[in-house]
Amino acid sequence: MSRFSAPIAEQIWDMKYRLKEADGTPIDQTVEDTWRRIARSLASVETEPELWEDRFYAALEDFRYLPAGRIIAGAGTGRSVTLFNCFVMGTIPDSMGGIFDNLKEAALTMQQGGGIGYDFSTIRPKGADVKGVAADASGPLSFMDVWDAMCRTIMSAGSRRGAMMATMRCDHPDIQDFITAKSDPARLRMFNVSVLVTDPFMDAVKDDRSWDLVFDGKVYHTVQARDLWNKIMQSTYDYAEPGVIFIDRINAANNLNYVEDIAATNPCGEQPLPPYGACLLGSINLARLVSDPFESAARLDETALDDLVRVAIRMMDNVVDASRFPLEAQAREAQAKRRIGLGVTGLADALLMLGLRYGSDAAAAQTEEWMHQIARAAYLASVDLAKEKGAFPLFDAKGFLASGNMEGMDEDIREAIAEHGIRNALLTSIAPTGTISLYAGNVSSGIEPVFAYSYTRKVLQRDGSRTEEEVEDYAVQLWREKFGDIDLPDHFVNAQTLPPADHVKMQAAAQRWIDSSISKTINCPEDISFEDFKDVYMQAWDTGCKGCTTYRPNDVTGSVLSVSEAQEKTAGSKVGEIAQEGEVVYISEPLDRPQSLEGQTYKLRWPESSHAIYITINDIVQNGHRRPFEVFINSKNMEHFAWTVALTRMISAVFRRGGDISFVVEELKAVFDPRGGAWMNGKYVPSILAAIGGVIERHLISIGFIDGEGMGLKADPQARVIEMGGRPRGPVCSSCGSHEMRMIEGCLTCADCGYSKCG
């Protein structure tokens, strides 16, 4: 009998976590084989590996403890991969050489996947003097463009996806440009961005005082703090970014504030980390620990929870020794502090099984109680590990116990740490669990409310066809099995109907006993007023949260123009015509070339090339509209001959197929040259191919094929919403092509295939 409670769970396992040969032949025949592989690998560093292998297997069994996906997929495979999810890179020096050294490190890290975070506050503002070269600085945002291009290139090369977080202090002179940077749909697509908000800034906002924007001791501008706060809020209201990170609160609470300063987080925000900091993640599946669900005697088995947490902590500590790292500096940092992040998933389902409405006072109190129990078990388990294996190398009892987090810890735990030390500097974090929650039977994700109790999932088959299957939330499935197909009780609320204040209440309740941070999305209704929206952030600040991420659906953040998955050839259809339902019509055969075409030739001078490149784009006119038909790329530099011919043929072939070919521009503009790009017309262009993409884009704009820079097929969040059967279609998943992308835990996640922008 299968251990999977739903077809989607088995499909996610097969697609993402099942060990296979290079040709796709399965090595893990069953999910039990996967559990055994992980348990054996993580027990291999123990002095009694067979004993711990069985205990680790028991924790994994029936999806009770869920290591992060990177561990499930990589542990015990013999592959040179990192098992860590989160990295914050080194401090970026304010020098050209240092900046590009850090870019190289980021590329090496991203090749192994995972999310990386950067603080760009250390780079001097735009227009500042650059000593010795009689020039003005281009500012941190120009270098963020370079990082963005690098990330897109690494991903397009077939490496595991990764995402990036960029942070900037609220007192940096370029903060206002940073806040609005992602209002440009063509810019910083690979980044999440968050403002580092300080305690003095929040005081100035509340008191309506002035606020200095400073770099290296020099005041560049003075603004009203409340005006700057409103600018952050307006951008977030319109574009869902930037997020807000209460950085002083994070540093004050940090167990390690005596040896490190934090200025950045991983992409989803649950891991504030120091330079070269890395963290691994795992989750306790609370939904699997409830006995007698939906009955008056329903309860979460606290003894099982304690035992499971203790085993999970040991497993995660062993990952520090079993994993490889992209950079030696990351390995040293991880070994010195042995930071781990144990969290939960299935919280909302567990609350439902106990008859509690997510967001109610009772649910918040129960959540805080469970988090307290998990924190106690985790810290005591780490103390026991310190007795057996030693404390983390940088442990100092006085400094550790003086942190804001430890000052509120239970006295018996403080006494145990003072006497024996502790194995892991930080232990708890609530991370995104979108994919592993599907793998565990579609339990509710992290501490989020249930997003949808059921939905129809489109499954892409090997032959290219799609089948549909109904997917139910885990708790709903249990309810149906027990009571049949009757209406769900009133306490079954979901993310779409929950008031934002209830979201914040739950985040604050969980944060009380989480020593790192929490990845959570506070869903806001589209019609929420701007003043009420700002109140959400003030509530997060006032109730002790370490950050805040919201999502308000609208034409910009919630839907994009969709492209048909399978277009039938329609007699009389115009190439690129928008059909009545708003979908682009594609032709099945390439057009024949007319005898003559109108076109334009552009000269491109690449700084590193001895000869100019000439790009000719010819257009076809149909029904009074011009559209590109072919391209020719020529240069006297013979080093360019082969690739320019190949590019000419490939792009022309795409153009002649019709439809919206603007994605060609976006793909070219994303190419990053590791040897370096060039500054052209005041803008950094990451490669010669990106420059060619820019030329083609300008031509498409000139003939009216696209409306403006960055408005191509892959990058037009401002396109009108298309109604399909009365229901707007959301963003398309770049992995499976479905329109089931949802904002969960601060990251767009596909409900059909589990793909997440944040890895």
- Looking at the annotation, which residues are catalytic? 266, 268, 270
Tell me the pairing of strands 86-88 and 290-291: unpaired
> What is the distance between the alpha carbons of residues 661 and 591, in angstroms, rounded to a whole number?
14
> What is the distance between the alpha carbons of residues 741 and 731, in angstroms, rounded to a whole number?
6
* Cβ neighbours of residue 395 closer than 8 Å, sequence gap 6 or more: 386, 421, 422, 425
DSSP letter for each residue of 709-744:
TT-SGGG-TTSPPPEETTEE--PPPTTT--S-EEEE
DSSP-derived letter for residue 14 is I
Nearest to 193 by CA among 246, 243, 259: 243
* Cβ neighbours of residue 656 closer than 8 Å, sequence gap 6 or more: 590, 591, 593, 629, 630
640 alpha-carbon distance from chain centroid: 37
| Residue 78 token pair | 């013999």
| Residue 559 token pair | 């839907």
DSSP-derived letter for residue 13 is I
- Burial (CB < 10 A; 0-12, 13-18, 19+), residue 611, is middle
Phi, psi of 262 (to 5 degrees): -110, 135
> What is the distance between the alpha carbons of residues 10 and 283, in angstroms, rounded to a whole number?
19
- Burial (CB < 10 A; 0-12, 13-18, 19+), residue 224, is middle
Contact, 192 vs 758, CB < 8 A? yes
For the chain, report the end-to-end CA distance as a whole number of angstroms: 31
> What is the distance between the alpha carbons of residues 68 and 431, in angstroms, rounded to a whole number?
9
* Cβ neighbours of residue 445 closer than 8 Å, sequence gap 6 or more: 345, 432, 433, 434, 437, 451, 744, 745, 749
AA letter at 305: L
> What is the distance between the alpha carbons of residues 678 and 471, in angstroms, rounded to a whole number?
49
DSSP letter for each residue of 589-630:
SPPPPPS--EEEEEEE--TT-SS-EEEEEEEEEETTEEEEEE
For residue 130, what are the β-bridge partners? 135
AA letter at 422: I
Residue with tokens 């509340």: 206
Contact, 434 vs 749, CB < 8 A? yes
> What is the distance between the alpha carbons of residues 251 and 142, in angstroms, rounded to a whole number?
28
User: Helix or strand or coil: residue 679?
Assistant: strand
3-state helix vs strand vs coil in the chain, percent to 5: 40, 20, 45
In this structure, the number of other CB atoms found within 10 A of the CB of residue 249 comes to: 22
Quick one: angle between helices 641-655 and 688-702, nearest 10?
A: 30
> What is the distance between the alpha carbons of residues 380 and 366, in angstroms, rounded to a whole number?
21
User: Helix or strand or coil: residue 528?
Assistant: coil
User: Helix or strand or coil: residue 187?
Assistant: coil
> What is the distance between the alpha carbons of residues 443 and 66, in angstroms, rounded to a whole number?
12
* Cβ neighbours of residue 725 closer than 8 Å, sequence gap 6 or more: none
499 alpha-carbon distance from chain centroid: 24
Nearest to 150 by CA among 748, 687, 755: 687
